[in-house]
Amino acid sequence: MAELEKKLKKAIENDKASSLLENLSKVSCLIIDEVGHCDPLNGRESNLFFQILDNRYDKGKGSTVFTSNMKPSEWRPLFFNASVARCALDRIMDRCIAIDIRGASYRGQQKNVFKISTSSVPEVTGLNLYQ
């Protein structure tokens, strides 16, 4: 999402919004990762993002995948105003398959933990010197 935010901003600044809209409206699978973890979109960025979602919704040419640690109901601050947020979420949620994953994260499961004891004889655990 942060990368998309930068693309929206740059496209608007460089008068390339229609080109970005056309390109992102027709990709077969648009993945927007970490929704809600970026700066809020200003009015023009918010409207362009909505237009992309609306085009993808109307044309039905591809899938749009959103990932977030936040519920969609918590995405409101991303948008410039409540009206645009409501319209965008209406299109996102209309024909969606929502998967709510709960439980422990898989990140960090392959980490190495080393513990050094400062007793009279130094002891290091977590190292296998015979690998």
Residues 97-122: pLDDT tens digits? 999 888 887 777 777 777 776 666 65
- The residue type of 101 is I
Tokens of residue 107, six digits: 């990140």
**Matching residue, tokens 């960025």:** 45
Q: Tell whether the model's pLDDT for residue 95 goes beyond 70.
A: yes
How do residues 46-68 score in pLDDT, each as one tens digit? 999 999 999 999 887 789 999 99
Put simply, whether the predicted model's pTM sits higher than 0.85 gets the answer no
Q: Tell whether the model's pLDDT for residue 12 goes beyond 60.
A: yes
> What is the pLDDT, as a whole number, of residue 75?
92
Tokens of residue 19, six digits: 């080109």
Q: Tell whether the model's pLDDT for residue 131 goes beyond 60.
A: no
Which residues partner with 29 through β-bridges?
63
> What is the pLDDT, as a whole number, of residue 120?
64
